[in-house]
Amino acid sequence: KAGVTQTPRYLIKTRGQQVTLSCSPISGHRSVSWYQQTPGQGLQFLFEYFSETQRNKGNFPGRFSGRQFSNSRSEMNVSTLELGDSALYLCASSSTGGNSYEQYFGPGTRLTVT
């Protein structure tokens, strides 16, 4: 079974631009969660989508948004990029979502904002 894939793997953007990241979960998994990882803050939860509905949301500004499609693929968008948005963005999929015991992570998208 193929793992979680994320595209692109690396991205360089300029302040003020917007960016869209993509995540394809493991086949059959309906839950996709997004995380931001930085050296200073560690892993921080952005949001979770389950069956195309945002189920839970972390404490990030409205510039961070996401969506999930009927095939469970998910995208996250960051508008009006700031230097502090530079981070590794990880998505994770699980079969049932919510209080699931197992999440499977993709390799991440490394975003650099200059």
Residues lying near other proteins in the complex (CB under 8 A): 4, 33, 42-45, 48, 55-56, 58, 90, 92, 97-99, 101-108, 110
CB of 16 to other proteins, least distance (A): 27
**Contact of 62 with 36, CB cutoff 8 Å:** no
Q: Of 17 and 27, which has the nearer Cβ to other proteins?
A: 27
Return the bridge partners of 10, or none. 110
- Nearer of residues 3 and 16 to other proteins, judged by Cβ: 3
Q: How far is CA 82 from CA 2, 103, 112, in A?
A: 34, 29, 10
Identify which of residues 28 and 42 has a Cβ nearer to other proteins in the complex.
42
Distance of closest approach, residue 62 Cβ to other proteins, in angstroms: 18
Q: Where does 17-63 show beta strands of DSSP type E?
A: 19-24, 31-38, 42-50, 53-57
